[in-house]
Amino acid sequence: MKIKSDGYSFFLVSKILGKFLGKKIRAVNFFDDGISFSTDDETIDAYLHPRFSWLAINSTHDLKKTCAYGWQEALKNGTILSSGQAGCDRVLYMDISTGADFGGTRTWKVWFEFFGGFPNVFLTKGEDGKIVRHFRKSFSAKRKLRSGEIYKLSFPEDPKPASLNEWLCKAQILAGLSREKIDIIEKSEISDASKISLVKFNGGEYAIPCINSEEFFQQRPSEIIEKFNKETQKSAIISPAQKEREKLKKAERTAMKSLKEILSPEEILSFGEKVKTSEERYLPFLEPEDPKLSEIYLKISGEAKGDIIKKLFSIYKKNLRKRNDLEKNIAQIRKELEDACFENLGETEKTQEDKTDPLARYRVFKSPTGKTVAVSKSAEDSDKLTMKIASQKDMFFHVKDAKGSHVILFLGNAKEAQKSDIEYAASIAACFSSARFSSLVPVQYTFRKYVRKPRKSPKGLVVLDREKVLFVSPKPHISGAGKPTA
């Protein structure tokens, strides 16, 4: 699918947002490719797909949604006061007021960043623009904004144009606009589209943000994304952060390979002692166990005993130094790899603990068959999740012989878990562990009734009985995967 987005389309999107002024936000939800803001009768759907982002109206009826708790707590029943485009940049915003109903905080701002490779949505509060939530589909080394920081535009904000003509003059990429397109901007009306947001003018339909593809108008957003995914997978678009991680992983593999090829210093030292205690006439008949050392000894076995010992000791020191250097290098690479992962994954959306929902403070996922999978965030939470919240018939997962979060697969009314659910929960346990960079991770699992906590044991420490071990690959796409908790 060849895709080209016209610059003036974002001005059109800002006009579409104006349709919602004065309306109240009733719900905020996530879906696979973006975030949705619902009013009484319509939705504002931001599709945040790397290299292909757009805003749509009433288009997500065919998409599976999950509640964005933190966003909803902040914005529910808030009134949309204003909207617009940040200068001439591809950044749109909505000003929202929640009056005095939400802890006295009155003003919020939602920023939509449509940067192609790095689309984001930020929620800020107050006049200082402090970030309280963010929703990201990809990360840039230059865009490291986190919750608690002050929101800044990616590029210096131009003064907002006072008129259409002024805006057209400022946006130099629009210098070649035809009269027809200018008419579309000035006189466009919002259509009641069921498949995707469209602008109608003189009987014609224009997609937002004006993608130049005839078939684009005939498909649902989910179909468009699926087709676009197939196209972009061929070109293997990788973000700078991903490239850096791949570079570090390659360096780690190279260093590990070199480490395995090094002749063991202990083997050399042991054989040197054997040479030292042997009579000189028997030296040509000695045979090292290591084939590499055997080749070296074959070349020097005819020399005097003292010279052989000196050369073996010299080889021992050389290999010991080389091994130590490689081990330090590998440790440094792994540290950089871990830092890069934490830096670019960002923070997960934090939710306030809901007394009516025992899982409100945990990371929650849905298995392939719809069962709940909960992941602890701290050692203290691990104990509570496993020993108090989980029932005896639920299943416990934890990475074997490594630090990691407690993972519980809630079976509900089911007597046993499906194989797909077990593999899914195990892969999540691997992802939220110190072994998440490995290609294959051993995860132990058992029923909760076979998990016990020794008296006076540290937080997060439990002992398993009748456990099984499953080797799985971590799920790198899980949002929020980070440092292990126990």
Of 246, 243, 299, 291, the C-alpha closest to 264 is 291
Listed in sequence order, the residues at least 6 apart from 137 whose beta carbon sits closer than 8 Å to its beta carbon are 33, 34, 48, 49, 50, 119, 120
More confident residue, 366 or 115: 366
The Cα 13–Cα 415 span in angstroms is 51
132-141, 174-183, 417-426: range with lowest mean pLDDT: 174-183
Q: How confident is the model at residue 213 (pLDDT cuts 50, 70, 90)?
A: very low
Q: What is the pLDDT of residues 330-343, one digit of tens each?
A: 888 877 776 665 55
pLDDT at position 101 = 52
What Å distances lie between residue 245 and 277, 334, 393, 472, CA to CA? 50, 10, 40, 21
Stretch(es) of the chain classified as CATH 2.30.310.10: 9-235
pLDDT of residue 477: 46
Chain length of the chain: 486
State residue 173's pLDDT score.
40
**Strand pairing class (372-375; 363-366):** antiparallel
Q: Can you tell me the mean pLDDT for 178-206?
A: 60
Interatomic CA distance for residues 28 and 14, integer angstroms: 20
Please report, rounded to a whole number, the percentage of residues in the chain having pLDDT higher than 90: 24
- Alpha-carbon distance 84 to 87, whole Å? 9
pLDDT tens per residue, range 259-280: 888 888 888 888 988 888 888 8
Signed CA dihedral, 291, 297, 298, 301: sign only:
negative
Mean pLDDT along residues 430-456: 90
Q: What pLDDT, in 10s, does the model give residues 60-103?
A: 566 788 899 889 988 988 999 998 888 767 788 999 998 755 45
Q: Between 221 and 154, where is the model more confident?
A: 154
Question: From CA 400, how far away is CA 444, in angstroms rounded?
Answer: 6
What mean pLDDT value characterizes the chain? 78
- The rounded percent of the chain whose pLDDT value lies above 70 is 70
**Per-residue pLDDT, 476:** 52
Give the pLDDT score at 158.
57
Given this model, what pLDDT does residue 299 score? Answer: 87
Does domain 9-235 fall into CATH 3.40.50.150? no
3-state secondary structure of 218: helix
Q: Which of 28-32, 45-49, 293-297, 431-435 has the lowest mean pLDDT?
A: 45-49
User: What integer pLDDT is reported at residue 6 of this predicted model?
Assistant: 56
Where is average pLDDT lowest: 268-272, 312-316, 477-481? 477-481
